[in-house]
């Protein structure tokens, strides 16, 4: 189907026993059948770690992935049966990669106080570091595998053999991904980074961790791309012309493109783990398909697929289980960027479910609660403005107003005394005009209607006959 080329072409540009063997399918199936949840904390309205862990248990997740090694959270997790994944921050990779003592210190601080009471199973070094490419980032690339090796050395020196070390990468690590058989890593990372990384993962029986989101390739052309194919709901299939493998969903295509890329570098058997996947439950007006129906459908079907017994695997690796972490536990209101960034959660900040979901995979999807009908599965056409959110602090608005008006003399010219938009004289009115004007002026340069969380999009014209607010036309 021609539309499927559009799907992936856009990606050219994510037991306290002694040990477990990755090659042991029974053990791996047990690990993979525990669907994990990503527990991010970039919000100012989120429950405490204690409350959050109880919520994780209530949704029957079996594994929790942290974006750090928070001591309070790890201590609380020792009182649960949850498997745990912790992370080495990006900004510590260079120091750890260059110095075994730094790796030892990190392990002594973040692992030893909690092992084995807290069931840490994975340590992930960095987060999507190959998605950034400044000179500093490239220094981090060079230290990635050395840092991973030194963390393993620290673990083994302390008699810890049941924690695997990996690093999560985004789909942009590929230069080609469609058809899946064409999967290949970007040239600038293939030899210097990916080859030693794959050698390390193979030698330590670890996983290739992948952040993989079918929403993004689908949303590049929501009119022509098949939404049902992205949501595991399609009756259509795609056959790879090189391998003859038949695909029934977009996720499998994306996963197998990474398998193809690894195979081209001589490592066809490294197991995949999905460190992040999901679908946004809301977003900006121009973010088509970001809604509760699609999010619930994707995540429910994902869990059904990944908890199937026997495991389904992918067309390139049928029958092999894939450890999977769903993104994410909460909507996080302090994540910058477009609206979808703040709307991947399973739960609202008050702990209520945004939609009914069962991480155990034991309840039939048909038995889960109904999902609301969306109105944004087709692109919006019309004018959009950027205005101040309700309840915004005037002090914070004043600071952001100075930023919005400071980049260009044109942005806030209409707010000058005596000009058409000067009255009413209020911080909220002036900020709403400035936000709309700035966004309209600089949207083509990746400006977002966010402004430190003080702005929102609207299709209702906030101006009046005297003062016409600039708008974005979709």
Task: Report, as residue numbers or ranges, the catalytic residues.
Answer: 128, 276
Angle, helices 250-264/2-9, rounded to nearest 10 degrees: 60
The answer to whether the CB of 330 falls within 8 A of the CB of 278 is no
Return the sign of the alpha-carbon dihedral for residues 408, 414, 415, 416: positive
Give 380-394 as a DSSP string. --SEEEEEEPTT--H
- Give 87-109 as a DSSP string: EE-GGGHHHHHH-HHHHHHHHHH
Q: List, in sequence order, every residue forming a beta bridge with 246; answer none if it has no partner.
A: 239
Q: Are strands 184-185 and 455-458 parallel, antiparallel or unpaired?
A: unpaired
CA angle 31, 322, 14 (to 5 degrees): 120
| CA 194 – CA 145 distance, rounded (Å) | 9
The position carrying tokens 């403005």 is: 385
Tokens encoding 29: 């199936």
Q: What is the distance of C-alpha 168 from the center of its chain?
A: 10
CA-wise closest residue to 289 among 200, 222, 358, 357? 222
Tokens for 218?
A: 């689908």
Q: If we measure between CA atoms, which residue out of 263, 144, 259, 276 comes closest to residue 210?
A: 276
Task: Give the span between the Cα atoms of 411 and 435, in whole angstroms.
Answer: 9
């Amino acid at each position: 189907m021609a539309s499927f080329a559009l799907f992936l072409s856009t990606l050219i540009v994510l037991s306290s026993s002694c040990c477990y063997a990755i090659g042991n399918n029974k053990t791996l199936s047990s690990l993979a059948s525990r669907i994990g949840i990503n527990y991010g904390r970039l919000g100012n309205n989120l429950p405490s770690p204690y409350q959050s862990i109880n919520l994780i248990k209530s949704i029957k997740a079996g594994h929790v992935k942290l974006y750090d090694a928070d001591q309070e959270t790890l201590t609380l997790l020792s009182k649960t049966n949850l498997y745990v994944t912790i992370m080495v921050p990006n900004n510590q990779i260079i120091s750890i990669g260059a110095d075994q003592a730094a790796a030892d210190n990190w392990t002594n601080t973040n692992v030893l106080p909690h092992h084995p009471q807290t069931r840490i199973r994975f340590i992930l070094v960095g987060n999507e570091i190959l998605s950034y490419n400044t000179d500093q980032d490239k220094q981090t690339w060079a230290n990635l595998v050395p840092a991973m090796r030194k963390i393993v050395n620290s673990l083994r020196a302390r008699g810890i053999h049941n924690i695997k070390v990996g690093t999560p990468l985004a789909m942009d690590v590929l230069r080609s991904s469609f058809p899946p058989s064409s999967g290949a890593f970007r040239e600038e990372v293939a030899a210097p980074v990916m080859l030693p990384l794959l050698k390390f993962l193979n030698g330590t029986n670890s996983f290739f961790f992948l952040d993989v989101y079918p929403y993004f390739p689908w949303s590049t052309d929501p009119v022509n791309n098949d939404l049902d194919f992205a949501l595991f709901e399609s009756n259509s299939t795609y056959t790879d012309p090189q391998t003859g493998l038949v695909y029934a969903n977009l996720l499998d295509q994306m996963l197998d493109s990474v398998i193809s890329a690894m195979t081209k570098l001589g490592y066809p058997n490294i197991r995949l783990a999905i460190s992040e996947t999901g679908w946004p439950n809301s977003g900006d007006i121009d973010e088509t398909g970001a809604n509760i129906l699609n999010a619930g459908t994707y995540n429910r079907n994902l869990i059904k697929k990944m908890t199937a017994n026997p495991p389904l695997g992918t067309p390139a690796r049928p029958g092999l289980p894939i450890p999977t972490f769903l993104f994410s536990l909460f909507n996080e209101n302090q994540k910058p960027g477009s609206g979808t960034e703040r709307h991947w959660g399973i739960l609202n900040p008050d702990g209520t479910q945004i939609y009914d979901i069962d991480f155990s995979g034991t309840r039939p999807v048909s038995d889960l609660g109904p999902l609301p009908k969306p109105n944004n599965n087709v692109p919006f056409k019309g004018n959009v403005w950027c205005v101040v959110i309700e309840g915004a602090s005037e002090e914070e608005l004043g600071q952001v107003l100075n930023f919005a008006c400071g980049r260009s003399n044109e942005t806030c010219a209409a707010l000058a005394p005596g000009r058409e938009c000067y009255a009413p004289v209020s911080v909220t009115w002036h900020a709403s005009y400035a936000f709309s004007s700035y966004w309209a002026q600089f949207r083509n340069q990746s400006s977002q209607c966010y402004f430190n969380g003080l702005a929102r999009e609207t299709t209702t014209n906030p101006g009046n006959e005297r003062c016409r607010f600039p708008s974005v036309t979709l």
